[in-house]
Structure 1
């Protein structure tokens, strides 16, 4: 069975805001995410994406 973390857990792990983690999920930029009852579930093995906003 797969193990998941919440957007809040991912934000703490990756050093970003919770809102940014939720936005990455909403834009489908993280593979294997699930949205169950308005809670984003992110696979524990997911890697943080490079910030495309910075050049």
Structure 2
């Protein structure tokens, strides 16, 4: 399996490296693993949906 770093994912998804690290630590990216002090993600990992957005325009 091929992997990418948190920085590679950040560039690919248009978000910050820190945000990718937070998503990894929250377990929201399937297959993300921490090796020493570096998060690695599968190359085919998908950006998780923004949990702040409501489905179907419903407001909470």
User: Do the two structures share a fold, i.e. TM-score over 0.5?
Assistant: yes
Q: Which runs of 5+ in 1 are unaligned?
A: none
- Would you identify which runs of 4 or more consecutive aligned residues in structure 1 move more than 4 Å? none
Q: Distance in 2 between matches of 1:7 and 1:40?
A: 6
Structure whose CA Rg is larger: 2
Q: Which runs of 5+ in 2 are unaligned?
A: 55-60
Q: CA RMSD in A?
A: 0.8
Give the aligned length. 54
Q: TM-score, normalised by structure 1?
A: 0.91
Report 1 or 2 for greater relative contact order, CA contacts < 8 Å, sequence distance ≥ 6.
1
Q: TM-score, normalised by structure 2?
A: 0.84
